[in-house]
Amino acid sequence: MYLSKEYKAGIFAEFAGAADNTGSAEGQVALFTKRIAHLTEHLKKNRKDFNTQRSLQKLVGKRRSLLAYLYKKDINRYRAIIKGLGLRDIIK
């Protein structure tokens, strides 16, 4: 699989603070962002893969809901993860 245990641990260590902090919202958003980027590249090559397209839409929705949670819970954590991942500010 393209996301090995070591790669995921590195993502969580960078964004969630510790490699074993897999439940944090920041770590989950970072992981979803990496998966979204991978699926986007896949769909550029395979335009008619509708199952992957649906999976991508579901992942984007999950990431958006986690970002909305962070926005309501702690605006500073939200701004830090947005800046760290280079995402647009989607919560208005």
Q: Write down the mean pLDDT value for the chain.
A: 92
Residue 72, H or E segment: helix 50-73
Using CA atoms in the order 18, 1, 30, 14, what is the torsion angle rounded to 10 degrees? 30
pLDDT surpassing 70 at residue 1: no
Does domain 5-85 sit in CATH 3.40.50.1100? no
- Give CA–CA dist 8/19, Å, rounded: 8
Q: What is the pLDDT of residues 36-56, one digit of tens each?
A: 999 999 999 999 999 999 999
For the chain, the structural domain boundaries read 5-85
